[in-house]
C-alpha cells in the first residue's frame, strides 16, 4: 500500500496535470479562434485596400485592356521569415502563402499573384470560403466593387494560421512540462512539512520502551488530537490491564506460598512418622510421599517463577554495571552444582570479556538457559558455553546435545506458559518468557537454532550501545 504522503502528492500532481492540460487545450482552442478572426479581418482589410488604392484607379478602357492581358505579380521564393533576420529583406517566406486576384464583372482575370493559378480562385460569391489548391487548404475572401464592377479576391494558406496555432500550443504544453516537475517538488516539500507531526508522533512512539505506557504528551495539529486521545485511552487500558495482571500474579504467588509451606511441613512430618512404621507400610506409602514431594517442588518452582515474572514486569530501570562474563558463568554453575556434575562442560569465554548489564537479571537468564540445557540433554553429554564479542555486541551461546526443538517449537518457545514437552518438563513454561523480557530490557534478544544431527544452540545477544 502506498504511503499517505506519496498518495497525496500523486493525487495533487494528477490534479495539477489535469488542470494545466485542460487549460492548455482551452487556451489552444481560444487562440485558434482568435487567430482565425484576426487573419480573416486582415484579408477583408487587404481586399478593401486593393479596392481603395488600385481598383478605384481603373477606367473602363484599362479594364478592357487588362481583360485581354492580365497583370501578373511575381512573388519570389524566400527563406527569410521575419524582417528582424535581415533588415534589408524585400521578400519574406510567408509571401508565397498569400495571394490575390482581380476579376471583371464578366469573370475575366485582370490581375493576379503568381503563387496560385490564374483561374483557381474564379468563383463569384461574396464572403469567406475554404478550398484546396495544389494540396493545400486556402482561406478565400471575395469582395465585389460596385463602383468599378470588379471582383477582388484575397487568399491565405491555412498553414500560415496553423503554424501560429501550433507554436502557441507547443509553448503552452512546453510550459506545462516545465511546471510539472517543479510542482511535484513543491508538493513533496509541502506534504513533507504537513506530515511532520505524524513523523514526530512516530519517533515519539518508537523511542518508548515496552514498559512505558504513560500518556502521549506532544503538541499536534487539531486533526491529530483525536488520534492522540484514542492512543492515550488505549495505552491507559493496556496499563490498567497489565497492572491487574501483575497484581494477580504477585498476589496469587504470595497466597500460594503459605499453603505450600504448610503442605511441605505436613509432608515432612508424615515422612518422619512413617520412618518408625513397619517396612511394608513404608514401601506402600513411599510412592505417595514422593509424589507429594514432587508436586510441592513443582508448585514451589511455579510460585518462584510467578514472583520473578511479576518483578521483571514491574522493572522501570536496570542497575547496569560492567560485569565479568566468566565470573557470571561461574556463579551460575555454582548455583546449579547439584545438576551440572552429571554433564561434561566446555567453556570458551575470552579472558577479560565484560558486558554492560544488570548482574542479577543476567544471572537469572544464564541460569535458566543452562538449567534447560541440562534438563533436556542426556547425562554425560557435552554442553558448551561460548562467547564472542565485537565492537557492537556480545553473543553468548549455550549449546547442548539434546533432542533440540522443531521450527514450530522455536516460534512458540518464548510465549508464556508454553512448555516444549509436557511430559518431560517440570516447569510452568515461564522461564524463557522471563528471559526474553529481561533481554528486551537490555535491548538484546534470544535466538534459537537447531544443531545437526541433534542439539540446540541458544544465543543471548547483548548490544554494547544499550
Confidence (pLDDT) at 83: 42
Host domain of residue 282: 222-312
Q: Write out the E strands in 309-381.
A: 320-324, 344-348, 354-358
Residue pair 213/238 in contact by the 8 Å Cβ criterion: yes
Helices (H), 358-419: 359-375, 407-412
Asked if residue 299 and residue 338 are part of one domain, the reply reads: no
Instruction: For 309-326, write each residue's pLDDT tens digit.
Output: 666 766 667 788 899 999
Asked if residue 87 and residue 32 are part of one domain, the reply reads: yes
- DSSP assignment of 86-125 equals -TT-S--GGGGGEEEEEEETTS-EEEEETTS-TTTT----
- C-alpha distances (whole Å) from 104 to each of 52, 71, 73, 118 are 16, 13, 17, 13
Cell output for 465:
550501545
Instruction: For 346-391, write each residue's pLDDT tens digit.
Output: 999 998 899 999 898 899 899 989 988 998 899 989 999 999 988 8
Instruction: For 246-263, write each residue's pLDDT tens digit.
Output: 676 666 666 666 776 777
Q: What is the dihedral of CA 269, 271, 272, 276, to 10 degrees?
A: 140
- State the CB neighbour count (10 A cutoff) for residue 435: 25
Domain tally, the chain: 3
Asked if residue 233 and residue 113 are part of one domain, the reply reads: no
- Residue 418 sits in a domain of what CATH number? 3.30.565.10
Distance CA 393, CA 460 (A): 10
| Long-range CB contacts for residues 118-125, cutoff 8 Å, separation at least 24 | 118/70, 121/153, 121/155, 124/151
Cell output for 209:
520502551
Mean pLDDT of 112-131: 79
- Which is higher by pLDDT, 221 or 426? 221
Decide if pLDDT at 463 tops 50: yes
- State the CB neighbour count (10 A cutoff) for residue 367: 18
Distance CA 403, CA 397 (A): 17
- Map residue 220 onto helix, strand or coil: coil
- Domain for residue 182, yes or no? no
Sole residue written with cell 479596392: 51
Residue pair 370/332 in contact by the 8 Å Cβ criterion: yes
Decide if pLDDT at 395 tops 50: yes
Radius of gyration of the chain (CA): 50
Distance CA 115, CA 28 (A): 30
Distance CA 326, CA 386 (A): 10
- Domain for residue 389, yes or no? yes
- Map residue 73 onto helix, strand or coil: strand
Sole residue written with cell 522493572: 315
Q: How confident is the model at residue 397 (pLDDT cuts 50, 70, 90)?
A: very high
Asked if residue 406 and residue 380 are part of one domain, the reply reads: yes
Distance CA 289, CA 282 (A): 10
Cell output for 382:
557435552
- Map residue 414 onto helix, strand or coil: coil
Confidence (pLDDT) at 160: 80
Distance CA 146, CA 128 (A): 18
Asked if residue 155 and residue 18 are part of one domain, the reply reads: yes
- Residue 257 sits in a domain of what CATH number? 1.10.287
- Domain for residue 188, yes or no? no
Instruction: For 8-24, write each residue's pLDDT tens digit.
Output: 777 887 887 888 788 88
Q: Indicate the residue among 285, 312, 339 that finishes a domain.
A: 312
Asked if residue 85 and residue 15 are part of one domain, the reply reads: yes
Strands 393-400 and 456-463: antiparallel
Strands 109-113 and 71-73: parallel
- Domain for residue 201, yes or no? no
Distance CA 268, CA 274 (A): 10
Residue 23 is classified by DSSP as H
Asked if residue 102 and residue 87 are part of one domain, the reply reads: yes
- Map residue 397 onto helix, strand or coil: strand
Distance CA 323, CA 356 (A): 6
Q: How many residues does the chain have?
A: 466
Asked if residue 394 and residue 308 are part of one domain, the reply reads: no
Distance CA 244, CA 235 (A): 14
* Beta-bridge mates of residue 382: 344
- Domain for residue 284, yes or no? yes
- Measure CA 347 to chain center: 47
0.75 surpassed by pTM: no
Asked if residue 134 and residue 22 are part of one domain, the reply reads: yes
Q: How much is the mean pLDDT over the chain? A: 81
- Domain for residue 113, yes or no? yes
- Residue 153 sits in a domain of what CATH number? 3.30.450
- Domain for residue 203, yes or no? no
Residue pair 99/121 in contact by the 8 Å Cβ criterion: yes
* Pick from 337, 325, 339, 407: nearest CA to 373: 339
Amino acid at each position: 500500500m502506498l504511503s499517505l504522503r506519496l498518495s497525496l502528492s500523486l493525487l495533487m500532481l494528477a490534479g495539477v496535470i489535469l488542470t494545466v492540460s485542460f487549460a492548455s487545450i482551452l487556451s489552444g482552442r481560444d487562440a485558434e479562434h482568435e487567430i482565425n478572426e484576426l487573419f480573416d479581418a486582415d484579408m477583408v482589410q487587404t481586399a478593401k485596400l486593393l479596392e481603395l488604392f488600385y481598383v478605384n484607379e481603373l477606367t473602363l478602357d484599362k479594364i478592357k485592356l487588362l481583360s485581354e492581358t492580365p497583370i501578373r505579380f511575381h512573388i519570389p521564393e524566400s527563406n527569410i521569415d521575419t524582417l528582424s533576420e535581415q533588415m534589408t529583406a524585400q521578400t519574406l517566406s510567408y509571401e508565397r502563402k498569400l495571394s490575390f486576384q482581380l476579376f471583371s464583372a464578366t469573370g475575366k482575370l485582370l490581375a493576379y499573384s503568381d503563387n496560385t493559378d490564374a483561374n483557381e480562385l474564379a468563383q463569384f460569391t461574396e464572403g469567406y470560403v475554404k478550398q484546396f489548391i495544389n494540396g493545400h487548404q486556402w482561406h478565400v475572401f471575395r469582395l465585389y466593387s460596385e463602383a468599378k464592377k470588379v471582383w477582388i479576391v484575397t487568399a491565405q494558406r491555412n498553414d500560415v494560421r496553423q503554424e501560429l496555432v501550433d507554436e502557441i500550443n507547443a509553448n503552452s504544453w512546453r510550459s506545462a512540462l516545465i511546471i510539472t516537475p517543479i510542482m511535484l517538488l513543491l508538493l513533496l516539500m509541502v506534504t513533507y512539512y504537513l506530515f511532520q507531526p505524524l513523523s514526530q508522533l512516530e519517533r515519539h512512539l518508537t523511542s518508548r520502551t515496552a514498559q512505558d505506557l504513560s500518556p502521549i504528551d506532544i503538541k499536534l495539529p487539531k486533526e491529530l488530537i483525536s488520534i492522540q486521545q484514542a492512543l492515550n485511552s488505549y495505552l491507559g487500558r493496556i496499563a490498567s490491564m497489565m497492572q491487574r495482571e501483575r497484581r494477580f500474579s504477585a498476589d496469587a504467588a504470595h497466597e500460594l506460598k503459605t499453603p505450600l509451606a504448610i503442605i511441605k511441613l505436613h509432608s515432612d512430618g508424615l515422612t518422619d512418622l512413617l520412618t518408625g512404621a513397619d517396612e511394608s507400610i513404608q514401601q506402600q506409602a513411599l510412592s505417595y510421599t514422593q509424589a507429594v514431594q514432587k508436586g510441592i517442588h513443582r508448585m514451589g518452582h511455579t510460585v518462584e517463577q510467578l514472583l520473578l515474572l511479576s518483578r521483571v514486569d514491574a522493572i522501570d530501570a536496570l542497575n547496569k554495571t560492567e560485569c565479568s562474563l566468566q565470573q557470571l558463568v561461574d556463579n551460575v554453575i555454582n548455583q546449579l552444582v547439584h545438576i551440572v556434575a552429571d554433564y561434561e562442560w566446555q567453556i570458551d569465554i575470552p579472558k577479560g570479556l565484560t558486558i554492560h548489564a544488570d548482574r542479577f537479571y543476567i544471572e537469572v537468564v544464564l541460569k535458566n538457559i543452562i538449567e534447560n540445557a541440562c534438563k533436556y540433554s542426556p547425562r554425560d553429554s557435552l554442553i558448551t558455553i561460548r562467547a564472542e564479542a565485537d565492537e557492537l555486541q556480545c553473543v553468548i551461546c549455550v549449546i547442548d546435545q539434546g533432542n533440540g526443538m522443531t521450527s514450530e517449537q522455536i516460534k512458540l518457545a518464548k510465549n508464556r506458559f508454553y512448555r516444549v514437552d509436557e511430559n518431560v518438563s517440570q516447569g510452568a513454561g515461564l522461564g524463557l518468557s522471563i528471559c526474553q523480557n529481561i533481554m528486551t530490557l537490555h535491548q538484546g534478544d534470544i535466538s534459537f537454532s537447531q544443531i545437526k544431527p541433534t542439539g540446540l544452540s541458544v544465543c543471548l545477544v547483548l548490544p554494547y550501545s544499550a
